[in-house]
Structure 1
Amino acid sequence: LVRQKLQSPSELDKARAARDGALAERDGARQQLDKLTRGVRTEDIDEATAKLASASADVALAERELADLTIIATRAGRLDSLPYNLGERVPVGGVLAILQANGAPYARVYVPETALAGYRVGDTIEVSVDGVSSPFNGRLRWISKESAFTPYYALNEQDRARLVYLAEIDLPDASELPSGLPLQAEPAHE
């Protein structure tokens, strides 16, 4: 038709372009049919496996970060105070939350060096609290191995008498006492 001058050359170019596009679509459909009939290519499987491994690593990292940023109390209790507000920087070793623990309270006392030899873990201790008429019986659960102040090897005989050792006494019958009360502890009379 172009040779006979019944159609313009641009119409010939458009027809050729439409034919080439249709051939390309046919080839793409044939490849898609081959892919569906033969199954997925190994490259696609490898790519999907790599994406899965990457996503699994991201999940593991996020779970680890969450675990690092999660604070879990060592015992049941009631939240007493949060010293910091959201967004504030907390110094290393800073107190993040103050809990009032459920269960039996305990007393922290200092045992003088001169009386230390008379105390053993498990001993019954009589604890007198200001404002409470009768004393409580407690059990000595822990005594520090090191003095609360100057090390013993740097002191002479007179200075050693001023050393004190931190100790903790369980008070199972004193659950109604608030924390922070002053007290006095002595070995129970037998």
Structure 2
Amino acid sequence: QKLALLSNAKGVRAQRPDIQKQTASLEERISTLRREKQRVERLIEANAANQKQWDDIESQLEVLESELAAQQTLLMQSTQQVSARSSSLEIQIAQLEDQLQKTRVTSPITGTVLNKYAEAGELAGMGTPLFKIANIENMFLRAYVTSDQLAKVKLDDEATVRVDDGEGGSREYEGRISWISDKSEFTPKTIQTKDERANLVYAIKIAVPNDGFLKIGMYGEVLFQTGNQK
């Protein structure tokens, strides 16, 4: 539909008359007669021409100027009609582009697609999940601290995150505490803390720049800068 409208708009614009080109012949004839009229006027002053010659030229000028005015009026009307049709088509094209724009799905964040729930061409209703996307340029490690450790950490504190490198060694990343829970919870079974006897812990998040090695779901160890506590 858009291609058809664009084609129609192009065709309509092609119908716009070139007023200057289409009136050039008449204007040239009028210009020639005006020069001839001036020549005859000089001859009359020198008694080398008569008044009838001047009158004939004047009559021809009046006819041609009338024809030129009529032609210009018709061409202007035609131009206005073409402009109106062109504007109407441009409005339709703009409305169609707006409708098409609303059908495009764009992610509100820049990231990596983790899961795809729909395929191209499928019908998706409002609120239907299409993709799971995550920004993995900055990762967040969720860790847990005891109440004793909680008293020694605060937002924006520096922390070192250590992860296995898969070759028997480890990698370390410098991060900052970006979130601290205000509620305690029972220690998750998969989590180890310095004091394994602690039943209640507080969740925190450490923001870590990712060099491409870190993956979602990886386990890590946190070393706090305050006394190197784990």
Instruction: From the two aligned structures, give the one with the greater helix fraction.
Output: 2
In the superposition, the TM-score normalised over structure 1's length comes to 0.49
